[in-house]
């Protein structure tokens, strides 16, 4: 069963030292595409390098947790990297996170909008991180204009799912979907149409139930595929085929 992981932190220091083994394990388990997402600027060179090799593609961006790394030249650097490297296919992981409070809201919005603007100008998809920030997120999208992308680890309400889907976004699900008590996530996965659903692992975080207590790895993505199939009452092969079409449609073929 071909599987696709649209959100893995392969340049994370917890993953990078064992990258070769991680990728061969993924390939052995039928993982045909992994979008390696950046969190910090220091990860960009490793992501550019690893994206030269199957099945990895890259996304570059600055996560809202690392705003202190922001400088005025980041948008130009992002634009150059996206134009120079064919296998850097997306901007990510970027977004808004007010879980710890809203003190840095203006800075978060500024950094998010500046990166979003690069994606829109170059017509590249975006991988979004959002926590307790949906109103500000949709406002930012309205201010920027149409953008393609995926909401990573979607965990919003059905109303938020509807709004994101109406905006044209894909919703991506990961390990926590497999937890017995994840009622809201299962509802959202059931609600999301097959032609708008994606799968991910958020490696090395958010492991599926079957690997609780371990770090997650891209080959765990098949558990997410299986759980989406279960909640939708369809076969894993149907989910796999849909995710393949969605992943390659949004990010291109690995």
CB of 250 to Zn ion, least distance (A): 17
CB of 37 to Zn ion, least distance (A): 6
Complex with Zn ion: residue 43 or 202, whichever CB lies closer:
202
Complex with Zn ion: residue 153 or 186, whichever CB lies closer:
153
Secondary structure string (H, E, C) spanning the chain: CCEEEEEECCCCCCCHHHHHHHHHHHHHCCEEEEEEECCCHHHHHHHHHHCCCCCEEEEECCCHHHHHHCCCCHHHHHHHHHHHCCCEEEEEEEEEECCCCCCCHHHHHHHHHHHHHHHHHHCCCEEEEEECCHHHHHHHHHHHCCCCEEECCCCCCHHHHHHHHHCCCEEEECHHHHCCCCHHHHHHHHHCCHHHEEECCCECCCCCHHHCCCCCCHHHHHHHHHHHHHHHCCCHHHHHHHHHHHHHHHHCCC
Complex with Zn ion: residue 202 or 227, whichever CB lies closer:
202
Complex with Zn ion: residue 59 or 164, whichever CB lies closer:
59
Complex with Zn ion: residue 93 or 227, whichever CB lies closer:
93
Rounded Cα distance, 245 and 157, in Å: 25
Among positions 74-113, residues that touch Zn ion (CB under 5 A) are 93
CB of 60 to Zn ion, least distance (A): 13
Going by C-alpha positions, the residue among 38, 14, 33 that lies closest to residue 23 is 33
CB of 185 to Zn ion, least distance (A): 16
Going by C-alpha positions, the residue among 45, 193, 166 that lies closest to residue 10 is 45
CB of 179 to Zn ion, least distance (A): 18
For Zn ion, how many residues bind (rule: CB under 5 A)? 2
CB of 61 to Zn ion, least distance (A): 10
Site track 202-221 with Zn ion (rule: CB under 5 A), x = hit: x-------------------
Site track 184-203 with Zn ion (rule: CB under 5 A), x = hit: ------------------x-
Q: Residue holding tokens 């992943």?
A: 247
CB of 237 to Zn ion, least distance (A): 27
Complex with Zn ion: residue 156 or 232, whichever CB lies closer:
156
Rounded Cα distance, 156 and 104, in Å: 22
Complex with Zn ion: residue 134 or 232, whichever CB lies closer:
134
Could you list the residues that contact Zn ion (CB under 5 A)?
93, 202
């Amino acid at each position: 069963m071909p599987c696709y992981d649209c959100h893995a932190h392969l340049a994370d220091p917890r993953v990078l030292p064992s990258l070769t083994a991680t990728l061969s394990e993924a390939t052995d388990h039928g993982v045909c595409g992994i979008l390696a997402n950046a969190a910090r600027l220091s990860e960009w060179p490793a992501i550019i390098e690893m994206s030269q090799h199957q099945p990895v593609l890259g996304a570059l961006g600055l996560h809202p947790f690392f705003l202190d790394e922001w400088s005025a030249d980041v948008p130009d650097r992002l634009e150059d990297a996206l134009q120079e490297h064919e296998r850097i296919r997306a901007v990510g992981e970027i977004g808004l996170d007010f879980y710890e409070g809203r003190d840095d809201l203006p800075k978060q919005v500024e950094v998010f909008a500046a990166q979003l603007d690069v994606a829109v100008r170059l017509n590249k998809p975006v991988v979004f991180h959002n926590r307790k920030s949906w109103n500000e997120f949709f406002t930012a999208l309205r201010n920027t204009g149409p953008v393609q992308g995926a909401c990573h680890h979607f965990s919003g309400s059905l109303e938020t799912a509807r709004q994101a889907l109406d905006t044209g976004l894909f919703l991506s699900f990961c390990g926590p979907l497999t937890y017995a008590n994840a009622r809201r996530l299962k509802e959202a996965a059931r609600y999301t149409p097959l032609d708008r659903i994606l799968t991910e692992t958020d490696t090395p975080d958010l492991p599926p139930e079957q690997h609780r207590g371990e770090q997650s790895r891209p080959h765990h993505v098949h558990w997410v595929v299986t759980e989406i199939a279960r909640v939708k009452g369809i076969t894993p092969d149907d989910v796999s085929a849909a995710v393949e079409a969605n992943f390659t449609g949004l990010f291109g073929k690995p």
